[in-house]
Structure 1
Amino acid sequence: MHHGTAGKKLIAAALHDLGGGSKSVDPKTIEDLRRADAPPEIIADYERRAKQQNDFIVHPDNWDAVRLFISCRTQWRRGGFNGAKVGLDYVAVQVVAEARNIKMTEDTFSGLQIMEAETLRLINERN
């Protein structure tokens, strides 16, 4: 499957996210904490973690897809006897997109699928 330059950058973002795991801090999370009047020490902890994480530059055209993918970390469907990840739950993805105010365009959805496919490929390679 040929993805072009944008696809390669999305694959790199999926790889970065897979390596970053729960240590990655989405800037939107900090904004959400502020809006929710979270305690200052919690906001400060998230800001500290955000500064410490490795930066990964995302092309502006890919930002919505990357943000949606990261926000959907807990929305994987599992199957088989071992409960392996088989793909994202697209109904849940739509709910997350609406909650995060991310417009689900064809490009955003395609980018999400590129990142999903790369993540599944890597998980299957490891097993």
Structure 2
Amino acid sequence: MGVETPRPRRPAADPEILEQLRALGAPPEAIAARRSAPAPPPAEPVEIWADHWEAFRWFRACASQWRYAGETAVPLGLDYGGAETAARLAGIEPTRQRFAQLRTLEAAALEALLERRRERRA
């Protein structure tokens, strides 16, 4: 069994993020809102079963391989071509079993992303 310790989250008012917002031309009210937003709670470590460790590593390697649609960037799922490349570059053999596990992780993540999106729009 592996243990994944989450990376520390940046505080809401991280100076680097605020500077990036300014550089991208964000309106002053958006920057002020970010500055006053509470920091997210720290993430708890999670245990990953040994049989799923490589699929979890693969999912983490795919962080930049999500496909989005439309002007509002609705998440659609992973780009499987990019996911396969990410696996190989991370030293993970993309077997059929791991791909099935990856798709399970993708479905759960997509559900959470869409739920968060609905909550923000409500």
**TM-score with structure 1 length normalisation?**
0.57
- Per-residue deviation, residues 71-125 of structure 1 (Å, max 9, x unmatched): 1111101112311211101110011111011011111101110111111111111
| Higher relative contact order (CA closer than 8 Å, sequence separation 6+) | 1
Q: Counterpart in 1 of 2:67?
A: 77
Q: Counterpart in 2 of 1:119?
A: 109
Instruction: Name the CA distance, whole Å, in 2 between partners of 1:23 and 1:67.
Output: 18
Instruction: Name the CA distance, whole Å, in 2 between partners of 1:23 and 1:101.
Output: 25
Q: Counterpart in 1 of 2:87?
A: 97
> How much has 1:53 moved relative to structure 2?
6.6
| Rg comparison, structure with higher value | 2
Q: 1:67 to 1:123 in 2, by over 3 A?
A: same
- Per-residue deviation, residues 55-81 of structure 1 (Å, max 9, x unmatched): 211111101110000111111011123
| Number of equivalent positions | 82
How well do the aligned residues superpose, as a CA RMSD in angstroms? 2.5
The structure with the largest strand share of the pair is 2
Instruction: Name the CA distance, whole Å, in 1 between partners of 2:8 and 2:105.
Output: 18
> How much has 1:23 moved relative to structure 2?
3.4
> Of the candidates 20, 23, 37, which is equivalent to residue 8 of structure 2?
23
Q: Which runs of 5+ in 1 are unaligned?
A: 1-15, 25-51
